[in-house]
Structure 1
Amino acid sequence: MQSMTTTGGVVRQGEGKQFNVLGHAITALFTQHTTEGNYYVFELITPPGLSLPPHVHEREDELIYVLEGELEVMLGDQQFVAKAGDRIFFPRFVPHGFQNAGSKAVKAIFTVVPGGSFEEFFEKLAALPPGEPDMARIVEIFAEHGMTILMPQQS
């Protein structure tokens, strides 16, 4: 029989650790400490025009529920638009990324399974200095957490 040391709980509106990760506002809702690393749940707010580069996870699957706005999504060789009320599944080992190409912010809830290293991942990205992103350091942080950013092909 597996024992759980967590007791559950409620995260109230406005609560949760906040991060600015490459311009995305992230609020941690249920962390690896809350869930013993089984999953990590966060709210993401992505301003218009902002994207997350295509990347591949070696360790985690991601489940997304779009609350507001529209995301242009790349999943493997597919492209589609996810609107409020849509759900997205990004399985590990499948390239994926997204962009807010709309005129208002996108708000979504992400669940990462397992979620053991995501808080440290966000902390490292949030600690980067403001301004032009240091892509070499970003690629390094992703790699430290089992993710590979897929860089555009040079012609």
Structure 2
Amino acid sequence: MQTQPLSGGIVHQSQGKNFYLLGHSITTIFSQQTTQGAYYVFEVVTPPGLGLPPHMHEREDEFIYLVEGKLEILLGEKTFLAQAGASIFFPKGVAHAFQNASSKAAKAIFTVVPGANFEAFFTKLAALPPGTPDLPQIIAIFAEYGMQVLLPETA
């Protein structure tokens, strides 16, 4: 199959597709269609105290630039505090998580490489009904897209 060369483009502030995902506001900047699946770039605004549970990607590396706020970062078995201006790298195969560690919303730009499946993953998660998340359903969606949610072991 022959692909067309990428033509590039500009996305101005507030022009991307906006949706909510598990309490986070997401704005797509460069879709997987724009990049032919090479990567997916999106902005995440995370309310105070909110985050994502520890999980691991089988296929994607994730890069984050923290624009505003503070995030508590879990990377492998270590925890870090990232502040505005920090850059974070979550390699595939390494457990990671983040949580807003401040009293104000945190804003970050995420780049996922490759991006071919990530946008469909987000679309499926965003379609879940509002309210208390159905954890088994969320875990199943993560698994469908090659990601594993890492729940704490219970005694």
| TM-score (norm. length: structure 1) | 0.96
Listed one character per residue, the Cα deviations across residues 62-106 of structure 1 (whole Å, up to 9, x for unaligned) are: 000000000000000110001000000000000000101210000
Q: What is the number of residues matched between the two proteins?
A: 154
> How far did 1:7 drift?
1.1
Paired residue for 2:12?
Answer: 12
Paired residue for 1:64?
Answer: 64
**SS state at 1:136 partner:** helix
- Aligned mates of 2:53, 2:94 — CA distance in 1: 13
**1:93 equivalenced with 2:61 (yes/no):** no
- Aligned mates of 2:138, 2:115 — CA distance in 1: 19
Paired residue for 2:117?
Answer: 117
1:40-59 paired onto structure 2 within 5 Å: 40-59=40-59
Listed one character per residue, the Cα deviations across residues 34-86 of structure 1 (whole Å, up to 9, x for unaligned) are: 00000000000000010100000000000000000000000001100010000
- Aligned mates of 2:110, 2:151 — CA distance in 1: 24
Q: Which amino acid aligns with 2:103?
A: S
**SS state at 2:33 partner:** helix
**SS state at 2:121 partner:** helix
> How far did 1:3 drift?
5.7
- Aligned mates of 1:126, 1:3 — CA distance in 2: 29
Please say if residues 46 and 105 of structure 1, whose CA atoms lie closer than 8 Å, have aligned partners that are also in contact.
yes
**SS state at 1:32 partner:** coil
- Aligned mates of 2:63, 2:148 — CA distance in 1: 19
> How far did 1:6 drift?
2.5
**1:140 equivalenced with 2:118 (yes/no):** no
- Aligned mates of 1:70, 1:129 — CA distance in 2: 28
User: Structure 2: any 5+ residue segments left out of the alignment?
Assistant: none
- Aligned mates of 1:62, 1:41 — CA distance in 2: 10
**SS state at 1:34 partner:** coil
Paired residue for 1:28?
Answer: 28
Q: Which amino acid aligns with 1:149?
A: V
Listed one character per residue, the Cα deviations across residues 123-143 of structure 1 (whole Å, up to 9, x for unaligned) are: 111110011100011001100
% same residue: 62
| TM-score (norm. length: structure 2) | 0.96
Which aligned segments of 4 or more residues in structure 1 are displaced greater than 4 angstroms?
Answer: none
